Structure 1
Amino acid sequence: MKIPNSDRAVIEASKLTEYLLNTEHKRVGAKAKLLIQFGYSIENWQQLETDIRRFHLTEDVNLITETAYGTRYQISANLITPVERLLFVKAVWQIDINTDFPRLITLVPD
């Protein structure tokens, strides 16, 4: 099963630039450093967005969970990174209550 309405998935720029690619972030700085080793950066954050859409939203969902905020969908798959190396990551998406489109919650190297 694919994520419902994946063609309307939202990936906020701030999720990438202020969180996933921010080496100064106290909770995810190590994650950002890993993504940078694979060729992503704040300067080319759009490439990370494109790759998540291309390599994750086309894959089947691994896990579905219900939360107080909505339905979460987990997808584990490779990204083909800018340095042409594979990086296996887990993406977590959520369709919030009273909405019908997914938004990216986090991306975790797996």
Structure 2
Amino acid sequence: MLLPNIERAVIDLRKLTDYVLNTSHPEGRHKARVFLSSLGITVADGEWLANTILASLWKSEAELQSHIHWGAIYRVDMEVVQGQRCAKVRTGWLCGAEAARLVTCFVVGECDETT
């Protein structure tokens, strides 16, 4: 199944540039290092990553993880390609009545060789 409210999926660019891709962030720096080593992307590529994730949602399966007060939490794994590099990226989404919002994003491994 596709992510609920996929047509209203929202990524706050600050989630990517200030946290996920920021090598200086106390908690996000580890994610940033993996994005850099696996895909060669940095804070400067935040908008590209956001657009790539949003486009990939339409061809990726969403898995319900749990329900919380504010909505449902979904996991969506996708393959992200940057130049000659490819990585499996896991995204987490909070899906409420109004929209689906990115809450986490990190590299989980390499792409399959058939990709």
Please report the TM-score for the alignment, with normalisation by the length of structure 1. Answer: 0.86
The equivalent of 1:100 in structure 2 is 98
Segments of structure 1 that go 5 or more residues without pairing to the other structure are none
Distance 1:49 1:84 in 2: 19
Q: 1:57: Cα distance to partner?
A: 4.1
Cα offsets for 1:22-44 (capped at 9, x unmatched): 11111120110111231222222
Contact 1:79 1:88 in 2 (8 A): yes
Q: Cα–Cα, structure 1 residues 84 and 7, in superposed 2: closer, same or farther, change >3 Å?
A: farther
Aligned residue runs from structure 1 range 36-55, under 5 A: 36-37=36-37, 38-55=39-56
Indicate the larger mover: 71-80 or 33-42.
Answer: 33-42
Q: 1:15: Cα distance to partner?
A: 0.6
Aligned-residue Cα RMSD (Å) equals: 1.5
Contact 1:40 1:47 in 2 (8 A): no
Aligned length: 107
Contact 2:5 2:95 in 1 (8 A): no
User: Aligned residues: percent identity?
Assistant: 27
Partner amino acid for 1:63?
L
The equivalent of 1:9 in structure 2 is 9
Contact 2:6 2:57 in 1 (8 A): no
Q: Which runs of 4+ in 1 moved over 3 A?
A: none
Partner amino acid for 2:65?
I
Segments of structure 2 that go 5 or more residues without pairing to the other structure are 109-115
Cα offsets for 1:71-98 (capped at 9, x unmatched): 1110112111x233111121100123xx
